[in-house]
Structure 1
C-alpha cells in the first residue's frame, strides 16, 4: 500500500467512526446516538417503580433524568437515589418541561392512568415501558396498540415472564404438538391478596399534604379521599384497578396466549361469589371486584389450531386435579398455575410458565422435548427491562418480548374477564345479567347480545383528560 492509499483509508475510517458519537440534539427527536446513555423519566416513583427504575438504570448504564409522583411519600427513595433528577407531581408538566432531555418513559402508576400517560409520552416520540396491565379498559388497549405503530416508538409491557426461558419452552412444546391439539386451558391465581367484594368506604378524612388527591384520581370519577385506596389497595376498586385479572392475568394468561396463538375471543361468561345479608338477600358491590370469580373465554380456530376454551379462576378457586397427577404432587404452584389439555396429554406450569411439566410427570424422562424456537432473552425474566433499554437505543422495529403489538391484544383478552364480571352484576330493569354468555365482536370492540355491557368497553374520563391521536 502506498502512502496516499493509507492516508485515504485512515481518514475515511476516522470519518466513519466519528458518526457514532454524534450528539443527541444533532440527530433530532426520537433518535439516540448509539454511544449515549438512555435518558429515562419515571411516571410513578414508588411502589413497583422501586424495582423498575433501578433495573432500567442498571447501575448507571442509563440515566434517570426526571421523576414524577402524585404522592411525595412514595417518591422518597427515588428522589434520594437520583437527587439531580427534577421532580414533578403532574406528568403533563414533566413532559412539557423536560421532554427535550427524555428519550424514554417508564409508567408505574395505578391502572386507570396508564393509557393517558403512556400516550402522552408516545406522542412526543418517547419510547415507553408500561406496567401490567397495559390499560384499564379494552378501548385504551386498542388505542395504545395503534399508537405504538403510528409514533414508531419502542414499547414493552411489564409482564417480565414474556422474556423468560420457560415461556419460550411452553410455546414451542405446544406448537410442536407435544400434547397434541389443545382444546382447553385452565389458568388460576391466589389473588386477590387485598380487600375486594366490599362496599364503598365511608367517612371523611383529611388529605395528607404529601398527596395531590385530584391528580391521583386523574381520569377516574371524583370521590372523597380515603386512606383505604392507597398506596396499593386501589387494585380492588373498579374505578382505579383491574382486580385479580389485571394483577396476575397478564403474567399467567400470557403463556397460553402466545403458545396457542390466540387473538380476539368470540364469547365470555362468568360466575362470581355473592354476598348475602339475609335469607336469600343478595348484595352486589359494584364499586369493587368480587372475592372470587370463574371466567370462561371462547376462542375460534386459528390456522391449524382448533377452537379453544380458556377458564380463569381466582380468589382461591382452582380447577379439578387431573387424574394424571399423583395425590402428593402439587397442582401448579403456591400462587397459581396453568394447565393445558391436549388430545395427546396435558402440560402443567406455574407463573411465567415456570417449571413446565408433562403429565403424568414420568413423561418428563420419557419424551424428547424440542428446544425453544424463539431466541432466548439474555437474563431471561431478569433481562426484560434491559431488553427494552437496549431496543430503545437501536430504535423502532427492534424486537421486545411484550411490545404493544402483543401486549395490547393480550390485555384486551385479560380485560374481557373484567367486562364479564362487571356485566354479571349489572342490573337492567329488575333483572341481573347473571350468567348470560356475552358474544364479542373483536374487530369492532362490541358485545352484540347485551348492549348494557358495552359501557365497560370504554369508560368516560373526568375533567380534561383525553385519549386521542
Structure 2
C-alpha cells in the first residue's frame, strides 16, 4: 500500500507541475475570465477562496473571509479530516481535497484566491505555486520557515502581480497607527532601543525527539503533512499543535508571536533588514546536575539582539531585543510601584527614546505613553487612516484588495512589508540555531543583498534548508 501511495503522490506532483506550466504560459494569451487567474472575479463580483489548512487558525481565517460579506469559500483542503470537520460542516458546498496539488491541478480555473494556514514548513511551497497560477494569497504568520523563502515570496508578489496579506492581524489595529503618530509628533524623541517579549512557548520545547513509533491516525495523510520536511516516522502529540517546537516544522516562539510584536517597530521606525544578530538561549536539566541542549528542538527560552541600520525616522542604528520563555525587560522607572508591568498575557513591545518611552501589548493593543498619565494628556494629530474593524478588519481588507486588483489598494501586511519582517525574525532564529554549531556562539554579520552570513559560513545552512525529494521549492 505504501508503494501505491508513493506512486499516486508522484503522479499528482507530475500532473500539478505540468498544469502549472501550462497555466502560467496561458496567462499571456488567454483572457483572464476564461482561466480565473490574476484579478479574476466571479460574475457576481465575489471572491472565491480556496482554504489550504481548514482547522485551527485556518478554521477562523476561513470563517472571517466569509464574514466579510464579499467572499465565498469554494474549496477546502486539509491533510487531516479531523481538523477539517468543522469547516466542512460550516461550508457544506465547498469541495474538499486532501492534497493541495490535486486541488490546484483540477480547480485552478474555479477560484480566485488562496488562504494558507498550515504548519510553517509548508507555507512557502503552497503559496508560491498559488502565485504562479495568478492567485491572490493570504498566509498565516510567519510568512515562511526560511529566510530564502521569505525573499522568494516577496519578489514573487511583484512578479505575478497578486494581492497579498500575512495573517498578523495587529498590523490592522489602531494601536500601531497611534504609536506611529506619537513617534512622528516627537513625543518620545529619537528611538534607539526596542524590547519585544512573550510568554511563549506554551508547547513543549527544548526536549529530545520522542522515541518509538506510533500508529498514524486513519484520518491523517502523514506523507502530505510532512510535505517539504524530512521523512520521519509519525509520533504522538506532534499534530495538530506541538510541531511548533521542532525546527523541521516550526519556528518556535518567534514564529508564533514575533510577527505580532515586532510589526509595530517596523511600522513606527520604518526598519527593514537587520545587519547583525546575536543570541543567548536557555537549556534544560536532563537530570539533577547536567544541562541538555537538543538541536532538533527550539530552546525553552532565548534573548536575541538584532541591529537595524539607521532609517529616515531615526538618528542612528536601532537595537531590537527579543525575549521569550517568560523573560521580560527591566521594569521602566516611569511606572509607579503599584502599576502593573507587562503586556496582555505576557506579551509586549517597549520603545525607548531620547525623550521618553511608550509600549503596547499583543497586536499593538493598549498603546501607552510613560508615565501612564501622558496617554490621556497627549493628543497627536491623526496621520494614518484606520482600518475598519481593526484587527478583525484585516481579513476584509484583503478581500477588498483582491476584488479591486493588484496595486489598487494599500494593505496592512502585504508581502512587501511582511517579507522583510519575517526575514528579521528568521535571522534571529538563525542565531539561536547557531548555538548547536561548533564555534557558533557569536554575533553574526549579515550581507542582505546576497542573503548570507559573512563571518560564519556554517550558519548559512539555516538560510535555505534541504527539501525532501519531490517537494523542492525553486524560483
1:456 equivalent in structure 2: 462
Moved more, 242-251 or 393-402: 393-402
2:339 equivalent in structure 1: 329
2:28 equivalent in structure 1: none
1:387 equivalent in structure 2: 397
2:248 equivalent in structure 1: 239
1:224 equivalent in structure 2: 233
Question: Equivalents in 2 of 1:375, 1:142: separation in Å?
Answer: 28
Deviation at 1:227, TM superposition (A): 1.7
1:338 aligns with 2:346: no
1:100 counterpart SS class: coil
Classify 1:260/1:59 alpha carbon distance in 2 versus 1 (closer, same or farther; 3 Å).
closer
Question: Equivalents in 1 of 2:106, 2:34: separation in Å?
Answer: 20
Which blocks of at least 5 consecutive residues in structure 2 are unaligned?
Answer: 1-30
Classify 1:288/1:27 alpha carbon distance in 2 versus 1 (closer, same or farther; 3 Å).
closer
1:19 equivalent in structure 2: none
- 1:3-82 → structure 2 map (5 Å cutoff): 25=33, 29-30=37-38, 31-32=40-41, 35-58=44-67, 61-82=70-91
1:433 aligns with 2:435: no
Question: Equivalents in 2 of 1:370, 1:25: separation in Å?
Answer: 45
1:286 aligns with 2:295: yes
- 1:140-155 → structure 2 map (5 Å cutoff): 140-155=149-164
1:174 equivalent in structure 2: 183
2:388 equivalent in structure 1: 378
Question: Equivalents in 2 of 1:406, 1:176: separation in Å?
Answer: 23
1:364 aligns with 2:371: no
Which blocks of at least 5 consecutive residues in structure 1 are unaligned?
Answer: 1-22
Quick check: 2:398–2:411 contact (8 Å CA) kept in 1? yes
1:197 counterpart SS class: coil
TM-score (norm 2): 0.90
Rg (Cα) greater in structure: 1
Aligned-residue RMSD, C-alpha: 1.7
2:20 equivalent in structure 1: none
Moved more, 353-362 or 340-349: 353-362
Deviation at 1:328, TM superposition (A): 1.6
Question: Equivalents in 1 of 2:460, 2:113: separation in Å?
Answer: 34
Deviation at 1:276, TM superposition (A): 3.8
1:401 aligns with 2:412: yes
- 1:116-131 → structure 2 map (5 Å cutoff): 116-131=125-140
1:186 equivalent in structure 2: 195
1:14 equivalent in structure 2: none
Quick check: 2:284–2:300 contact (8 Å CA) kept in 1? no
Given candidates 428, 433, 441, the residue that maps to 1:417 is 428
1:97 counterpart SS class: helix
1:84 counterpart SS class: coil
1:5 equivalent in structure 2: none
2:108 counterpart SS class: helix
Deviation at 1:424, TM superposition (A): 1.5
Equivalent residue pairs, number: 441
TM-score (norm 1): 0.91
1:409 counterpart SS class: helix
Quick check: 1:179–1:344 contact (8 Å CA) kept in 2? yes
Classify 1:318/1:94 alpha carbon distance in 2 versus 1 (closer, same or farther; 3 Å).
same
